[in-house]
Amino acid sequence: MSFTSSYFLLFLAVLAVLYYLPLRRLQWQLLLAASFFYYAFSGIINLAYISATIVTTFIATLIMDRLRTAEGRSKKQIKSRRRAVMLVCLAVNIGGLAVFKYAPLRFPLGISFYTLQTMGYLLDCYRAKNAEFTERNPFRLALFTSFFPQLIMGPISRFSDLKKTLYGGHRFNADSFLDGFLRIAFGMFKKLVIADRLSPVMKTNPALAVFLYAIVLYCDFTGGIDIALGVAKIFGIELAENFNAPFFSTSIADYWRRWHITMGAWFRDYIFYPLSISKPMRKLTMRLKEKAGDGAAKRIPVYIATIVTWFLTGIWHGSQWNYIVWGLANGVIIMLSQECESLYKRFRAKHERLTASKPYAAFAVIRTFVLMSLLRGFDLFSYPAQTAKLNAANIVIVAAGVLLLAAIGFWRHSHKDAKPSAAWRITAACALIAAVLVFGAYGLGYDASGFIYTQF
Amino acid sequence: MKKVKFVVIPIVFLLLLFGLQQLLMPKYMDGVYDGAMPKEYYAEPKDHSVIFLGDCEVYENFSPIALWREYGISSYIRGGAQQLVWHSYYLLEDTLRYETPDTVVLSIFAMQYGEPKNEAYNRLNLDGMRLSLSKIKAAKASATEGESTLSYILPILRFHDRWQELNTTDLQYYFGTKKVGHNGYLMKNEVKPVDYIPDGSKKPSYDFSSLAWEYLDKTRELCEKNGINLVLIKAPTLWPAWYPEYETQIEDYAAKYGLTYFNMLESVEEIGLDWNTDTYDAGNHMNLPGAEKCARWIGGKLLELSSLPDLRDNAKVSAIWDKKIADYERMKEIQLAEIKAYGKAKTIIY
């Protein structure tokens, strides 16, 4: 049941009515039932996989919790036992994900996302200072894992954030509902008017392919996330933002702070930081300090952690070599730019006026866009060749759509906290729906294409 | 004020959307005129004694005007291009929302089509239907791969892409289309004699599908329930082939349920058809003289089966039919003049 299908919209409408009217006292239970119902459309067997993740995580976190107060054991013993439980649960779930990534099995929809999210919760429970963090109701944990708007392509939420709004008690709020509705309409516009129209022709012209793919991927992924956030908002639930104007980035590192933010944060918090301060790394730092000096001791462990993190990021995206190369290339470029930071600083100091100017900022933005587009060539590479072409009318629609997105992007950039009036938002939502209905690439004659990020 | 905006803006939006949908819908006023006929029924007075159902075997082969002139029978053809048996059934269901005719004449030519065939023909038959449960069920029963039932309720979902092909016809007929049918009859006045009858190709099976039988049963039961006399016909067209195996199955069915079945191919002489003058496309369809002959013949047969009222004495009804006859005669003259001048009739709509 794709986010852009009429069945999904019907499902959403029925659910919203039930959520705010007869089942207002059972909101989170209703969302759990709806999430399982929604996920069952991707294959009944997938319910077994997600249930396995929920059950193993629930049991592991409960055991870790009980071990805190285990009598007759030293702190060290408790710590090592808790770690063993955490590692077994991690191994089972990450192993399961790896099996599906590498074995010729049908890939369960959303497994990459819900596994990361649930393993994040497991690690948070492991690190938590007290037992209160652990969720003791398996069904509430099940909802955290399976909440349908974020289930198949994120954002990857943290339990401590999501639990604030996930478990109900929401009264209908017209303003919040309107925000959600507008966000869904905007997501549909990006996906159906731009991404799905451009997607069948993006590889036709090799010279433009990487740039067109950048637009397609942006509209496809941010469109899906907009719908996810909008749907959650309709139910009064706040999901984490996953993008922050990524095409305004001035460097690759900046880009990764703005693109797929929740995934970047996950790898940063659960891979990069723990690895950087792990015992072997600390030992390495000491050794390097003695033998190669402070500079190397500061940099090399960070670079190792960077490379490992990006290697895993690549693998998470796909099991093929091109994803691994893509991940490593990102890591190498970030490392190189860190290495060159002193040069940049000197350049900026010497040419203060130039580097503070708007044209230079534009240059930095374009340079990053081009570089990121070229890096995505590793990803685009795996797409089949295309020969279809867009006629002039369709080119105009795509160009107008992209210009509209750019204009909205600029407006948001310069009016960060501004919120348009309700009348404006209703008008905007209506206009977007009309644009989607008329100019959307859907129905007979179009291949209904799924969201690109649901395959990861 | 805020609440007013919450209501007013979406209402304005829905009205605009409806207007946009109207613009994007095909008007069937240039080229494919058949698609404009299904909706014409709703503007008619609902006093028909006979309703014809079927594909071009009825809407090009029978003239209701001739039936009126000859017998005073008020009839209407709810036909459509490549109308399949389930289309016919749901059109009958729809008709019964407005009137209950004495007799339904059903063309059984479509029994050979065992499953939904082509989206374009579904559209030609169903787009003109008023929104009702029958229409939704018809769309569901007819859907080919990739078709959505919802797009029959909200046609913008299907025709949204026509923004690329809008032309002056879409603007010209935005507020309403002109008439095409003469009580559902599509007039053709050209003459093309039969010079060759193509043999029917061999088929792997001649058995009608269970789906076709199911809907024929449903049609029969609906007629029985409403006290309607159901008459099955095979129109006297020479091709595509009507195989003996088909004929046997229909004869057996009619015998089993006590239905009247006319294979008009067996009565060509009695009807008075001349294959040199009564067809416009070498035997596939009748032209106007052929359609009038067929109407007169079937009218006689229907009167033998039941006492259909002669409404010519009813001044109110007669006045309506006089207007129809005037339109019919005018169109006939225009077409004949065009044929004389250009070899082909250009005017269909009026």
The answer on A251 and A338 residing in a single domain is yes
Q: What is the mean pLDDT of chain A?
A: 89
DSSP for A287-356, please give it. HHHHHH-HHHHHHHHHHHHHHHHHHHHHHHH-SSHHHHHHHHHHHHHHHHHHHTHHHHHHHHHHTHHHHT
Q: Is A70 exposed, middle or buried (0-12, 13-18, 19+ CB in 10 A)?
A: exposed
Choose between B3 and A400: higher pLDDT: A400
In a domain, A385, yes or no: no
Q: For B85-111, how does the pLDDT look when each residue is reduced to its tens digit (9 = 90+)?
A: 999 999 999 999 999 999 999 999 999
CA–CA min distance A445, chain B (Å): 9
> What is the model's pLDDT at position B159?
92
**Is B17 within 8 Å of A440 when comparing Cβ atoms?**
no
| Range B46-322: architecture per CATH | 3-Layer(aba) Sandwich (3.40)
* Number of domains into which chain A is organized: 2
**Residue A274: inside a domain, yes or no?**
yes
pLDDT digits (tens, 9 = 90+) for B25-36: 999 998 889 899
Nearest CA distance, A367 vs chain B (angstrom): 36
Determine the pLDDT at residue B2: 63
Q: Report chain B's terminal Cα–Cα distance, integer Å.
A: 49
Residue among A155, A240, A230 at smallest CA distance from A429: A230
Question: Is a pLDDT exceeding 70 seen at residue A373?
Answer: yes
Q: CB-based contact (8 Å) between B17 and chain A?
A: yes
Last residue of a domain, one of A149, A171, A193: A171
- Judged against a pLDDT cut of 80, whether residue A455 lies above it is answered with no
Q: Mind listing the pLDDT tens digit for each residue in B172-181?
A: 999 999 999 9
Dist. CA A315–CA B330, nearest whole Å: 76
Note whether residue A301 is domain-resident. Answer: yes
Q: Same domain, yes or no, for A148 and A277?
A: no
Domain that holds residue A277: 246-380
Is pLDDT of A441 > 80? yes
Tell me if A393 and B24 make a contact (CB, 8 A cut-off): no
Cα separations in angstroms, B147 against A139, A444, B215, B308: 39, 7, 21, 41
At A65-105, the pLDDT tens digits run: 888 877 777 888 888 999 999 999 999 999 998 888 887 77
| Minimal CA separation from B208 to chain A, in Å | 29
* Out of A426, A427, A438, closest to residue B163 by CB: A438
Could you tell me what percent of chain B has a pLDDT over 90?
Answer: 81
A136, A152, A171 — which closes off a domain? Answer: A171
Domain boundary among A353, A380, A407: A380
Among candidates A178, A393, A438 on the partner chain, residue whose Cβ is nearest the Cβ of B20: A438
Can you tell me the distance from the alpha carbon of A110 to that of A46, in angstroms, rounded to the nearest whole number? 9
For residue A226, name the pLDDT band (cuts at 50, 70, 90).
very high
Among A142-156, A319-333, B53-67, B297-311, which stretch is predicted with the lowest mean pLDDT?
A: A319-333
Q: Note whether A115 and A263 are same-domain residues.
A: no
Same structural domain, A10 and A143: yes
One domain for residues A23 and A167: yes
Q: What is the mean pLDDT of residues B213-219?
A: 97
CB contact under 8 A, B2 and A393: no
The answer for A350, left when phi > 0, alpha when psi is -120 to 50, beta otherwise, is: alpha
Contact B161 A445 (CB under 8 A): yes
A172-220 pLDDT, tens per residue? 998 999 999 999 999 999 999 999 999 888 888 877 888 888 999 999 9
pLDDT at A437 over 90: yes
State residue A452's pLDDT score: 67
CB contact under 8 A, B146 and A444: yes
Which contacts (CB < 8 Å, 24+ apart) does range A444-447 have? A444/B119, A444/B146, A444/B147, A444/B158, A445/B161, A446/A196, A447/A200
pLDDT bucket at A410, cuts 50 / 70 / 90: confident
Task: Indicate whether A167 and A49 sit together in one domain.
Answer: yes
Question: B63 vs A336, which has greater pLDDT?
Answer: B63
Amino acid at B277: T
Q: B163 contacts in A (CB within 8 Å)?
A: 393, 438-439
Tell me how close the Cα of A430 comes to any Cα of chain B, in angstroms.
6
Instruction: Report the alpha-carbon distance of residue A221 to residue A236 in Å, rounded.
Output: 22
Q: Lowest-confidence range among A200-214, A360-374, B13-27?
A: A200-214
Q: Does B119 sit within 8 Å of A423, measured CB to CB?
A: no
Per the prediction, chain B carries an average pLDDT of 93
Q: Which residue in chain B is spatially nearest to A432 when comparing CA positions?
A: B13
Rounded (10°) CA dihedral B118, B121, B126, B128: 150
Q: d(Cα A361, Cα A357) in Å, to the nearest integer? A: 6
Q: Kindly tell me the sign of the dihedral angle through the C-alpha atoms of B316, B320, B321, B325.
A: positive
Chain A residues close to B2, C-beta within 8 Å: 422
**A430, A439, A443 ranked by CB distance to B157: nearest:** A443
Query: pLDDT tens for residues B236-276?
Result: 998 888 999 999 999 999 999 999 999 999 999 999 999 99
Chain B residue numbers with beta carbons less than 8 Å from the beta carbon of A392 are none
Cβ contacts of B158 on chain A, cutoff 8 Å: 443-444
Kindly tell me if the per-residue pLDDT of A451 is higher than 80. Answer: no
| Residue A354 neighbours by CB under 8 Å, 6+ apart | A360
Taking the CA of residue B147 and the nearest CA in chain A, the distance in Å comes to: 7
- The interface pTM score, or ipTM, of the predicted complex is 0.78
- CA B158 to chain A, closest CA, distance in angstroms equals 6
Confidence of residue A446 (pLDDT cuts 50, 70, 90): low
- What pLDDT sits at residue A445? 66
- With contact defined as beta carbons under 8 Å apart, do A242 and A260 qualify? yes
> Does residue A383 surpass a pLDDT of 80?
no
A444 confidence band (pLDDT: 50, 70, 90)? confident
> Which residues from chain A sit within 8 angstroms of residue B164, using beta carbons?
391, 393-394
B15 and chain A in contact, CB less than 8 A: no
Is B160–A6 a contact, with Cβ atoms under 8 angstroms apart?
A: no
Instruction: From B50, B95, B96, select the one nearest B75 (Cα to Cα).
Output: B50
Chain A positions in Cβ-Cβ contact with residue B17 (cut-off 8 Å): 434, 437
Count of beta carbons in the 10 Å neighbourhood of residue A332: 15
Domain membership of residue A34 (yes or no) is: yes
| pLDDT reading at A124 higher than 90 | yes
Q: How many CB atoms lie within 10 A of CB B210?
A: 9
What pLDDT score was predicted for residue A231? 97
Residue A394 Cα to chain centre, angstroms = 30
| φ, ψ for residue B77, nearest 5 deg | -105, 110
Averaged over A106-124, what is the pLDDT?
A: 91
Q: Which of A31-40, A67-76, B11-20, B283-292 has the lowest mean pLDDT?
A: A67-76
CB-based contact B148 A437, cutoff 8 Å:
no
**Per-residue pLDDT, A448:** 52
Residues A157 and A15 in one domain: yes
- Please give, rounded to a whole number of angstroms, the shortest distance from the CA of B120 to a CA of chain A: 11
pLDDT higher than 90, residue A342: no
A437:B156 CB<8 A: yes
State whether residue B13 sits within 8 Å of chain A by CB. yes
Per DSSP, helices labelled H in A147-293 are 148-151, 159-166, 174-188, 196-198, 206-234, 252-258, 261-267, 273-276, 279-292
What is the pLDDT at residue B236?
94
Kindly report the nearest CA distance between residue A275 and chain B, in angstroms.
50
Check CB contact under 8 Å for A6 and B157: yes
Q: What is the pLDDT of residue B200?
A: 78
Return the axis-axis angle of helices B288-305 and B64-71, rounded to nearest 10°.
50
A15 and A153 in a single domain? The answer is yes
- Which residue, among B248, B235, B228, B253, has the nearest Cα to B305 in the 3D structure? B228
Q: Which residues of B touch A445 (CB under 8 A)?
A: 161
- Do residue A41 and residue A144 come from a single domain? yes
